[in-house]
Structure 1
Amino acid sequence: MIYKYLSEKDPKAKRVEAACHNKFPETFEERQKRTDNTAFRDNQRQWYQCAQKAGFKLNPPDEDGEFGLSEIGPQGDFGSEKMENCRKEAFRE
């Protein structure tokens, strides 16, 4: 529910999220970055390449392979279905 309220810009939700953030379960990507940084970088590179092929305008990746959008176009943003599909494909467990 907290994500629903965060998306609605509820100020109370931001305080709750900040107070509870360290209690959230670790994502696969977070765990991989912490335990196997080489595999994380490889997966980030795969995600980046997939997103580029899908037509997203991207900033160059940093030393860990993390990247951002340089422009939000017709494909959408990081929450779009195409971007999420690329992420899932790159970070298959």
Structure 2
Amino acid sequence: MTNEEVNHYYCIKCSKGTSRKTYKVHSYFSTISYSSAIELLNNLIIAKDLGYLSNEQYIEVREQVEIQTFLIARLRKSQQSIIKQNPKQT
């Protein structure tokens, strides 16, 4: 999986949530995106252990996944903050 493919994967997951109307639903899809990233990370570890990925490939993709999970976590935290501040509008 290339860096570009990793980025597209999360864009697809997050875009599903942005078409919804409330921050609660946006936050839900951010959670799904984050969970998918953790699942991908686990699959990377398995692929490396089984010899499907070189150490260099593993490190390259893992770094991208770590960046993406950080960004998704920040997005979700922001969404949760909005939900807490405006519970009736979400």
Judge same fold: TM > 0.5, yes or no.
no
Higher-RCO chain (CA-CA 8 Å, sequence separation at least 6): 2
More helix by share: 2
More strand by share: 1
Q: Identify the TM-score tier after normalising by the shorter chain.
A: 0.3 to 0.5
TM-score normalized with structure 1 length: 0.31
